[in-house]
Amino acid sequence: MKARFLSGFLGAVAALTATASAAKEPLAHWPDEARATIESVLADAPEGSFAVFDADNTIWQNDLEESLLPFMEARGKLSPETLDPSLKPIPFHKGETLYGYYLRLCAIDDNLCYPWIAQVFSGHTLGELKGEVDALMARTAPIPVRYEENGKVVSGTVERPHIFEAQRELLDELRARGVHVYVVTAASEELARMVLSDPLYGLNLAPQDIVGVTMVLRDPESGALTTARSQVARGHFLDADYPAEKHMGMEMTSTLWAPNTWYQGKVAGIRTYIDAVNRPLLVAGDSPSDRAMLFEASGLRLWIDRSAAKTAALEEAKAARAKAQSESGQRVDADTNWLHLRQEQLAPRP
């Protein structure tokens, strides 16, 4: 499993400028009106434009970490007993699963559970985690989960990510038009990279163009510490000096590396790692955590609608921001250049 990934990953690094095989028709899975809107924005795109996408529920349906967590727990790869003690800010309930514990943390605050679900995978090498991600992505059955609801333990299921064919097409079309594509995700950067940059999944993101929640990595042999972001900054990431084999042998620790890419931290990720001055031409997202970077878009704000409540909250945020812009004498643009699409319009399954 690991050898297969390394071969594919090295091939991706050697061909970062390659795109997926051309579709018969650009944006073929997009509704006509949405396709026309995107075409209009791309026709006027300035040279050097870039686009930023969220990953979970934006590029694919469902959440990578929220499915990987119960998947690995069921396989005996994660457990409350082996969890880093620093990741137990509240006591576990008797018999509680890691997934159920995560939901309880989210009920307290996203700023508690967002980092936690990236940190929970610490103690494993990236190669081990890649094997788990690939096994998850190959799964066809839903994943059982157990959690508390209204004081009672209930059972349910979650599903692994299903890539939106329409988004795959959009990524290819943006690159074909000279727009550089990045992902800024609130998920673990390393886990997201395992899907986004593996040729197996056909999304073709360059490994260095994924920005997410970054954990410090430890070399199990020497104890030396690094991060992917540090290696990118040094100009040695997945090259002869720091090859993919070495990277995949690194152990993920539970120590966070700033900036933390959720909510306003997504804008910090853009400014720190992508462009300190220029705004992205297009931004795509689906959740309140994506709002700050959606407002940064200069050309098109692509909202993936998966919840009436989240969309209603977005409309309130648009109105409030537009009002604040007007009252401060700024150009009012917070409520313009939006394209809303429901998940089912993006062809999530073959």
Catalytic residues: 54, 56
Token pair in block for residue 266: 């997504």
Rounded Cα–Cα distance for residues 42 and 34 (Å)? 12
Handedness of CA 74, 76, 81, 87 (dihedral sign): negative
Closest by CA to 130, choosing from 193, 220, 222, is: 193
Rounded Cα–Cα distance for residues 299 and 283 (Å)? 9
Closest by CA to 18, choosing from 237, 144, 169, 172, is: 172
Closest by CA to 49, choosing from 38, 33, 35, is: 38
Token pair in block for residue 179: 């727009």
Q: Which long-range contacts (CB under 8 A, 24 or more apart) does 150-154 make?
A: 153/95, 153/100
Rounded Cα–Cα distance for residues 132 and 124 (Å)? 11
**H or E stretch covering 221:** none
Rounded Cα–Cα distance for residues 16 and 210 (Å)? 13
Token pair in block for residue 316: 């309130």
Handedness of CA 105, 107, 112, 115 (dihedral sign): positive
Name the β-bridge partners of 218.
Answer: 225, 251
Token pair in block for residue 285: 């997202």
